[in-house]
Chains A and B, each alone.
Chain A
Amino acid sequence: MEVSYFPGCTLKQTARNFEISAISSCKLLGLDLTELSRWNCCGTVYSLSTDDSMHHLAPIRNLIRVQEDGFKEVVTLCSMCYNTLKQANELMKKEPDRLKKMNDFMYREEDYIPDVEVYHLVTYIKERLGYEKVRELVKQPLTGLKVAVYYGCLLLRPDSIKLDDRENPMIMEDLLTALGAEIIDYPFSNECCGSYHTLGQKEIVLNRTNKLITEARRDGADVLVLSCPECDFNLDHRQKDTLEKYPNFQTMPVLYFTQLLNIALGGNLEDCGFELNYIDPLPVLREKGIIK
């Protein structure tokens, strides 16, 4: 099945491992992620100003591309892209006057008709295939791997676009359970990773990373699984600086859910792109007998 797919900038750079593992695992699920023929920046941060249509142009232009490619649905991976595209789309459905204004402004584009649906991959797999189907396709169960699932903010807020319950989300846990992993109760799954403070006030992020990884350790996790390149940068790559600042800090591998999905479905190890993970997850995966 051909599925229109919007990658976004990070998935072509630092989160390349997220993209290649997603494409590979989707293929094993029978989903052919077809990259949009043309795409631009997702808009990055959804603007909450009521009089700021300009910042919605980027996401809506991307949805026009989906329309041009002849699709009614588009799948995203990055939390930020998902949040921005979905919220902008909801706004267009709700406010026809603003849609008209924006269509008029983009006079060289075809009109956007807001009937494209924006999906996050995890929702798409749940709704289109169902986790039972996924369970049937598992070749290498993740038995014995204790996983803490981390959502961050953008997949759960605001309510209008959330993937699952804001306080006790289970959608990714359910997927990983289907893959055979052992889910640990991790109450910090919707805490803040520190986000863009990683640029200006790194100390804030180091504090968060120390807290979030240490708590995951305390709760017995082997790895932390997430779906956001921003969170991944803070929680994985920033472990280097975290260790410098907090000498007792114990590191932990952080993976994209698609990397585990790819392994469980019997995909190639090269398609996981583990070389881009700062803390190497291979030792723990080997230890659990999940990879050789």
Chain B
Amino acid sequence: MNKRIGVFICHCGLNIAGTVDVDALREAVGKIRNVVYVKNYIFLCSQPGQEMVSDAVKEHKLDGFIVANCSPTLHEKTFRTIAIKLGMNPYLVEVANIREQSSWPHSKQPDYATKKALKIIKGTIKKLERNIELYTQRVGLTKRALVIGGGIAGIQAALDIADGGYEVLLLDRKQSIGGHMAQISETFPTLDCPQCIMTPKMTEVAQHPNIKLYTYSEVEEISGFIGNFTVKLRQKARYVDWDKCTGCGECIAKCPSKPLSEFNRNLCKGTAIYRDFEQAVPSYPVINKEACLYFQKGVCRVCEKVCPAAAINYEDKDIIKEEKIGAIIIATGYDLMPIQALGEYGAGKYKDVVDGMQFERLLASTGPYAGNVKRPSDQKVPESVVFIQCAGSRDPETHYPYCSKICCMYTAKQALLYKHNVHHGKAYIFYIDIRSNGKGYEEFVQRVQEEEGVVYIRGKVSKVFKRGDKLVVWGADTLTGQTVEIETDLVVLASAMIPSTGSLNLASKTRLATDKFGWFSEAHPKLRPVESVTGGYFLAGTAQAPRDIPETVAQASGAASKVLALFSNEYIESDPVIAQVDPEICNRCGYCESVCAYGAVKLNPKTRIAEVNEVLCEGCGACAATCPSGAISHRNNSRKQIFDMISVATENYDQITTKFDK
């Protein structure tokens, strides 16, 4: 029992004192049992305020104290740090939140606010009386990171961590790293091609002594917790021995099976033995078993015959590898929604209705027509192109309510590149409004409108259908109030970005929090944007939400710096305000295990008694509230403490007189 309690009441300027009668409050608090010192101050969080608290603790030999001020999310840490400096256990400091919970919401009822503030303080005193000293747990950590996803986000994060001196495993499902950025023709607003700006980074990854590449691999299982993960990785059967392969490409040149090229978004054919693209890293190919004549029909084996390095191995099997990891960066990126769902635009029905990424491939010099824009149905040069923005985005009724963020800019860029490619061509863009908020973005859009002569039409398209060999686009021009009909050769849909299938698989494997669409949730939308809700997982790029390349790179560096900060510690300290189990009371029902969002409570496989992993536990209290036998309690929030607080809160407070009582 703490019996020498001090209470410090903050005025917070007029935020508290303007509503709450702080003098009456001080007087009432002074009469409470076990309170030996009460003091009011205008701003407790100021430097002199903190010193005043520090001096009073020493002078009055307090064994615990309460600050009655704002939310504990703001200044709890400030005052607990003071306690640490004084040699007091920080868990003997409590915050009574009389601002967010009293003076602000009840600003029109000062009398009530004063009495409620007293209730809050009195309850907190009751809690503090029974608080015990708590100590953080220390566990070691593996200073080795796993980056899942080898797009620009994963590449940047991996390079930053590796440059910081730590080992990184960079994982990608595909044969090569590079992700979507490698598919793009040129990037807005500077029009650099990714081959120029991205391949140096890819090479750097390949050559970096601290980076271990795991391409054509997937996460099988993740267990453990921050600093101490064990990850099982499935390296898919490549059927090519990469230790022997020289990447000469002879096999690719001779492969007779021609499945559609995934990298070219099915616009042209590739080969069954393939690498994603010419500058692929690593440059060693893999065999697509579904398309390979040998695997499907038992004939061919041409690649084996032509390989000068005898690297083909049809007997290759998936390999499961286990790795010890300290931190995980999720950079699993996005996909575009399947445009078949956009039937009103003729998508899925007409070959010449393509999505934004397909048009990137039509523009790209490495694409199906070597950078000469042709339409997929008959390889005719399109005399005009209609771009439809917000195809599936900003459409809460039928598709996705959110803005995909990058489409306004890439559509402008695509229209410009098309005009540069087909000089006499006409480009029309249907838009809801133009969102060009980035450095140099608005200027770029203005250039596209004014100098490139692209026609911007504000309005939605209602229908795309075929008439002869032309596509007809019906839409509204909401600036003139007219309906518009455009006959065109090609329609490009800026279709909504959605989480990649890799993201969705990973979310179900790790139970990491996502929003309802599957984007990974950050710990705090403003102040902790690169951390996941679960410790040890960090987020980079479009796995979290739609964003462009500069933002992705910045966030990837942010996530990497969080990992580096974690790795700069020799051990991890965990918050001790967590659940604890009394094994004598536990009845082995396992309800706690089923409600724990963090996988922190588990029944011991032998005794079937619940056990809390102190590092994983976030102290949410769900298990304690669920436990039917009362075996789980939340440290410093015991049942006794909670019931004490309730009985104080339900007392009659009419006997307190404030200056507002008339």
Instruction: Choose the segment among B232-240, B355-363, B462-470 that binds chain A (4+ C-beta atoms closer than 8 Å).
Output: B462-470
**Which of A159, A168, A218: most chain B Cβ within 10 A?**
A168
How near does chain A come to B353, taking the closest CB pair, in angstroms?
12
How near does chain A come to B446, taking the closest CB pair, in angstroms?
35
Q: Are A168 and B465 in contact (CB under 8 A)?
A: no
Q: Are B467 and A218 in contact (CB under 8 A)?
A: yes
The distance in angstroms between the C-alpha atoms of A13 and B69, with both chains bound, is 77
Sample of 15 A–B contacts (CB below 8 Å): A159-B398, A165-B343, A166-B343, A167-B343, A167-B344, A168-B343, A168-B349, A185-B466, A187-B346, A187-B463, A187-B465, A187-B466, A188-B465, A191-B463, A218-B467
How near does chain A come to B400, taking the closest CB pair, in angstroms?
16
> Hey, which chain B residues are within 8 Å of A191, CB to CB?
463
Q: Mark A20-60, 1 if CB is under 8 A from B, else 0.
A: 00000000000000000000000000000000000000000
Q: Mark A168-210, 1 if CB is under 8 A from B, else 0.
A: 1000000000000000010110010000000000000000000
The distance in angstroms between the C-alpha atoms of A227 and B601, with both chains bound, is 61
> Hey, which chain B residues are within 8 Å of A188, CB to CB?
465
> Hey, which chain B residues are within 8 Å of A187, CB to CB?
346, 463, 465-466
How near does chain B come to A124, taking the closest CB pair, in angstroms?
25
Q: Mark A139-171, 1 if CB is under 8 A from B, else 0.
A: 000000000000000000001000001111000
Q: Which residue of B lies closest to A158 (CB)?
A: B397
Interface SS of A by simple majority:
loop
How near does chain A come to B247, taking the closest CB pair, in angstroms?
45
**Which of B346, B465, B466, B467: most chain A Cβ within 10 A?**
B465
> Hey, which chain B residues are within 8 Å of A159, CB to CB?
398
Q: Which residue of A lies closest to B346 (CB)?
A: A187
How near does chain B come to A46, taking the closest CB pair, in angstroms?
17
Q: Which residue of B lies closest to A186 (CB)?
A: B465
Within 8 A of A (CB), among B396-426: 398
Interface SS of B by simple majority:
mixed
Q: Which residue of B lies closest to A218 (CB)?
A: B467
13 other A-B residue contacts (CB within 8 Å) besides A168-B343, A188-B465 = A159-B398, A165-B343, A166-B343, A167-B343, A167-B344, A168-B349, A185-B466, A187-B346, A187-B463, A187-B465, A187-B466, A191-B463, A218-B467
The distance in angstroms between the C-alpha atoms of A187 and B466, with both chains bound, is 8
Within 8 A of A (CB), among B308-346: 343-344, 346
How near does chain B come to A222, taking the closest CB pair, in angstroms?
19
The distance in angstroms between the C-alpha atoms of A189 and B308, with both chains bound, is 59
The distance in angstroms between the C-alpha atoms of A185 and B346, with both chains bound, is 12
> Hey, which chain B residues are within 8 Å of A165, CB to CB?
343
> Hey, which chain A residues are within 8 Å of B343, CB to CB?
165-168
**Which of A166, A167, A188: most chain B Cβ within 10 A?**
A167
Q: Which residue of B lies closest to A219 (CB)?
A: B467
> Hey, which chain A residues are within 8 Å of B346, CB to CB?
187
The distance in angstroms between the C-alpha atoms of A165 and B349, with both chains bound, is 13
How near does chain A come to B388, taking the closest CB pair, in angstroms?
14
Within 8 A of A (CB), among B340-377: 343-344, 346, 349
Within 8 A of A (CB), among B455-474: 463, 465-467
How near does chain B come to A168, taking the closest CB pair, in angstroms?
5
How near does chain B come to A173, taking the closest CB pair, in angstroms?
14
How near does chain A come to B317, taking the closest CB pair, in angstroms?
43
The distance in angstroms between the C-alpha atoms of A168 and B342, with both chains bound, is 10
> Hey, which chain A residues are within 8 Å of B398, CB to CB?
159
The distance in angstroms between the C-alpha atoms of A187 and B353, with both chains bound, is 15
Q: Which residue of A lies closest to B344 (CB)?
A: A167
> Hey, which chain A residues are within 8 Å of B465, CB to CB?
187-188
Q: Which residue of B lies closest to A159 (CB)?
A: B398
The distance in angstroms between the C-alpha atoms of A15 and B201, with both chains bound, is 71
The distance in angstroms between the C-alpha atoms of A191 and B483, with both chains bound, is 14
The distance in angstroms between the C-alpha atoms of A218 and B398, with both chains bound, is 32
**Which of A159, A165, A187, A218: most chain B Cβ within 10 A?**
A187
> Hey, which chain A residues are within 8 Å of B466, CB to CB?
185, 187
The distance in angstroms between the C-alpha atoms of A167 and B463, with both chains bound, is 9
How near does chain B come to A155, taking the closest CB pair, in angstroms?
15
The distance in angstroms between the C-alpha atoms of A188 and B465, with both chains bound, is 9
Q: Mark B381-404, 1 if CB is under 8 A from A, else 0.
A: 000000000000000001000000
The distance in angstroms between the C-alpha atoms of A83 and B343, with both chains bound, is 22
Within 8 A of A (CB), among B424-474: 463, 465-467
> Hey, which chain B residues are within 8 Å of A168, CB to CB?
343, 349
The distance in angstroms between the C-alpha atoms of A218 and B343, with both chains bound, is 22
How near does chain B come to A203, taking the closest CB pair, in angstroms?
15
How near does chain A come to B634, taking the closest CB pair, in angstroms?
39
The distance in angstroms between the C-alpha atoms of A165 and B344, with both chains bound, is 11
Within 8 A of B (CB), among A246-275: none
The distance in angstroms between the C-alpha atoms of A191 and B398, with both chains bound, is 18
The distance in angstroms between the C-alpha atoms of A166 and B346, with both chains bound, is 12
> Hey, which chain B residues are within 8 Å of A218, CB to CB?
467
Top 3 closest pairs, chain A to chain B, by CB: A167-B343, A187-B465, A167-B344
Q: Which residue of A lies closest to B341 (CB)?
A: A167
Q: Which residue of A lies closest to B463 (CB)?
A: A187
Q: Which residue of B lies closest to A188 (CB)?
A: B465
> Hey, which chain A residues are within 8 Å of B467, CB to CB?
218
The distance in angstroms between the C-alpha atoms of A168 and B340, with both chains bound, is 11
The distance in angstroms between the C-alpha atoms of A187 and B343, with both chains bound, is 11
The distance in angstroms between the C-alpha atoms of A187 and B463, with both chains bound, is 9
The distance in angstroms between the C-alpha atoms of A185 and B467, with both chains bound, is 10
How near does chain A come to B186, taking the closest CB pair, in angstroms?
33
The distance in angstroms between the C-alpha atoms of A191 and B344, with both chains bound, is 11
Q: Which residue of B lies closest to A185 (CB)?
A: B466
Within 8 A of A (CB), among B524-551: none
The distance in angstroms between the C-alpha atoms of A166 and B465, with both chains bound, is 15
How near does chain A come to B655, taking the closest CB pair, in angstroms?
46
How near does chain B come to A210, taking the closest CB pair, in angstroms?
14
